[in-house]
Amino acid sequence: MHNTTYSRQRVSRKTGWTLPVPYCNCGCPDTVIDTGHIGHWLFQLTKCQCQVVNLGAGFDTTYWNLKDQNLVAKNFIEVDFTSVTSRKCYYVKSRKQLLDKLTSEDGDIKFNSTDLHSSDYHVVGADMRKLDEFEKKLNECGIDRNLPTIFLAECVLVYMTADSSSALVRWIADKFPTVFFVNYEQVNMLDRFGEVMVENLRTRGCALAGVTHCISLDSQKDRFLTNGWEGANALDMNQVYKNLPHDEVQSMEGFGVLVDLQVALFAHYCITWSYVDRQQPPLGLSSIRIAAPTETTQ
C-alpha cells in the first residue's frame, strides 16, 4: 500500500445517488478514496441497516470517523494480513479513547493476537486469496449476507494474481444478493508511463501480480462483469477531477496542483464501482454514479 492523504469530498444528489469524488492533496501525487464519505450514500439509503467490509484496511480510521458523525453500520469489518491486524489490535487495545468508542452487547470486547471483535466493529487477519479462510473470518464477525453490503479496496486487488482477485469478486457476487464494490487502483499500465510505474514498484519489492486487470478501464470493469456482477463502471482520476465542483477545481488550480506529472499520474489511477442488486424490490444500486458516463451491464 502506498502512502495516502485523505481530503474533503462532496456528495450531490441530482439524479440518483452520486458518489463523492476524491482528489489529490496539494504537493502529494497520491489520490485516494475517502471510504467513509463514499459510504455515506449507503448509510442514508438503508438508514444504517448495512455492512461495510474494508479489504486491506491497514490503519484506516474510517470506522472511527463515521462513529464521530453518528453513522454506525450494523457491522464494520476490516480485513488485512495478520502482520498488520496484530499491530492494529495492539494499538486499539492500548488506547482507552478508542476502546471507549467500541460497543459490545455483553459489554466485553474480545481480542486475540490478530483479531478484534465488538458488537459492530471487527478487525480480522486473513489471506483474502484463500477464500475458505476469508469466509471463516467473515462468519466469525457475524456477517449477515442478507444485509446490503459495501466492499472497499484501495490498491489491494492489484497485489493478488488476476485469477485470485477474479475468484474473490466472484465469491462476493455469489454470496451477497445486495452488494456494492468500490475499487481504487492502477490503470493504463501498458503505456510507457505505466511500464515505468510497474518497474519502479518492482524494484521496491512491490510486484503488481494482478496488473493484467489494470490494462484499461474496460479491463477493470470486465473483472467484475465476467464474474457475476450486474453492472460496472470506471473513471480514471482525470475524469474524476473534471467532475469536481467548480469551486474546488478553482481552488486546486490556484495551488498549481495539476502539474503535468500529476495529470499523467491521474491517467494511471482509477475508481471502479460495481454492484449486484438481486433483492426484491431492488435497492437501487444501479443509480449510483461518480459522474455520468454510460454504464456497462451484463
For the segment 167-187, what is each residue's pLDDT rounded down to a tens digit?
A: 999 999 999 999 999 999 999
pLDDT tens track for 69-122:
888 889 999 999 999 999 999 999 999 888 888 866 556 899 999 999 999 999
What's the confidence (pLDDT) of residue 51? 95
What pTM was computed for the model?
0.83
pLDDT at 181: 95
Q: Nearest Cα to 73, choosing from 115, 107, 41?
A: 41
- Model pLDDT, residue 226: 98
Classify residue 60 as exposed, middle or buried by CB count within 10 Å of its CB (0-12, 13-18, 19+): buried
Question: Could you say which residues of the chain have pLDDT below 70?
Answer: 1-40, 103-107, 244-258, 290-298
Fold classified for 35-292: Rossmann fold (3.40.50)
Domain ranges of the chain: 35-292
Alpha-carbon distance 290 to 157, whole Å? Answer: 21
CB atoms within 10 A of CB 26: 13
| Under 8 Å between Cβ of 135 and 167 | no
pLDDT at 210: 96
